[in-house]
Structure 1
């Protein structure tokens, strides 16, 4: 199963982060609009990512819900009928909820730097160090930590869990979007 080391952090200064990501990647990034629909499963997470252009991906992943760099194992399958698959999976499993975001992707070495604007939550940064076949988790964590420094991300800005968790937490605390 493929894996990556990933971190997620809240963004307080979007202009600074975007400027640093552009410098480090040597590009203006790629804008991707996504709607993720999460489904009820007993362990891990299952989501259908709809790219809003007729393409989608069914993604299963497992990772600990904690702050800082963490190993994530995942499986991905592409689809040309994301809405049809959402309907079938909703009927079969039930939905947990949906996350809508506009993501700008920057590639820095083997790391996917995502600058995300999430509906109902705000701005976030996610790093995914895509692990090479024989690379250790420790190497991935070291790359993530260095990139955090390079981007100016502080440890106190790190968050745990998924955007879906944050949306549910906001809803429970009466901060519905």
Structure 2
């Protein structure tokens, strides 16, 4: 099972952060418009990602702590299918839907997301990914710490919750 070590932080300067990233000669994957449909599951989180670049059914476990944290991920990449979404909706129901624009970059095994999330604002996510068991948790953690330092992420900007949790909190106050 792939292991990620990742952080999410609020941002008010994604353009500047992307410029800083350029000094590492990143590979640009593209800009994706994504709909993440979160489902009611008894443990962890499960979402169906529908985008023009990424399409996947994702189940993951991650503690809600601010800063970098481990995320255990099961990922099923698929061709877009309305039938899959309908099956999931009928079987387990929708928890919430997150809409976002995401600019995706890679430096080696580290994936960078520069996100604008409808109803929440702008964020940066950094995921150090061990897809094949060749990197230790400590190495992944060090990669996240390195980029948090490079981007000068202030401690109060780190976000503990998923976008789905943040959006549900906003909706509960309306």
Decide: shared fold, TM above 0.5: yes
- 1:38 and 1:74, CA in 2 relative to 1: closer, same or farther beyond 3 A? same
Q: Does residue 103 of the first structure (1) align with residue 102 of the second (2)? A: yes
Task: Find the residue that maps to 1:22 and give its secondary structure.
Answer: helix
Looking at structure 2, the residues matched to 111 and 52 of structure 1 have their Cα atoms a distance apart, in angstroms, of 21
Instruction: Provide, for residues 32-82 of structure 1, a one-character-per-residue CA deviation record: whole Å limited to 9, x for no partner.
Output: 1111101111001111111147x7211111111111111111111122243
Task: Find the residue that maps to 1:160 and give its secondary structure.
Answer: coil
Q: Does residue 83 of the first structure (1) align with residue 82 of the second (2)? A: yes
Task: Find the residue that maps to 1:120 and give its secondary structure.
Answer: coil
User: What is the root-mean-square deviation in Å for CA atoms of aligned residues?
Assistant: 1.7
Instruction: Name the count of aligned residue pairs.
Output: 173
Looking at structure 2, the residues matched to 107 and 126 of structure 1 have their Cα atoms a distance apart, in angstroms, of 12
In structure 1, stretches of 5+ residues that fail to align are: none
Aligned to 2:150: 150
Looking at structure 1, the residues matched to 43 and 117 of structure 2 have their Cα atoms a distance apart, in angstroms, of 25
Aligned to 1:68: 67
Q: What is the TM-score with the length of structure 2 in the denominator?
A: 0.92
Q: Does residue 45 of the first structure (1) align with residue 65 of the second (2)? A: no
Looking at structure 2, the residues matched to 141 and 26 of structure 1 have their Cα atoms a distance apart, in angstroms, of 19
Looking at structure 2, the residues matched to 28 and 57 of structure 1 have their Cα atoms a distance apart, in angstroms, of 20
Looking at structure 1, the residues matched to 113 and 25 of structure 2 have their Cα atoms a distance apart, in angstroms, of 12
In structure 2, stretches of 5+ residues that fail to align are: none
Task: Judge conservation of contact 2:28–2:106 (CA < 8 Å) in 1.
Answer: no
Task: Find the residue that maps to 1:148 and give its secondary structure.
Answer: helix
Task: Judge conservation of contact 2:50–2:80 (CA < 8 Å) in 1.
Answer: no
Structure 1 stretches (4+) deviating beyond 6 angstroms? none
How far the C-alpha of 1:28 sits from its partner, in A, is 5.2
Task: Judge conservation of contact 1:9–1:124 (CA < 8 Å) in 2.
Answer: yes
Looking at structure 1, the residues matched to 105 and 55 of structure 2 have their Cα atoms a distance apart, in angstroms, of 20
Task: Judge conservation of contact 2:32–2:52 (CA < 8 Å) in 1.
Answer: no
Task: Judge conservation of contact 1:112–1:130 (CA < 8 Å) in 2.
Answer: yes
Task: Find the residue that maps to 1:66 and give its secondary structure.
Answer: coil
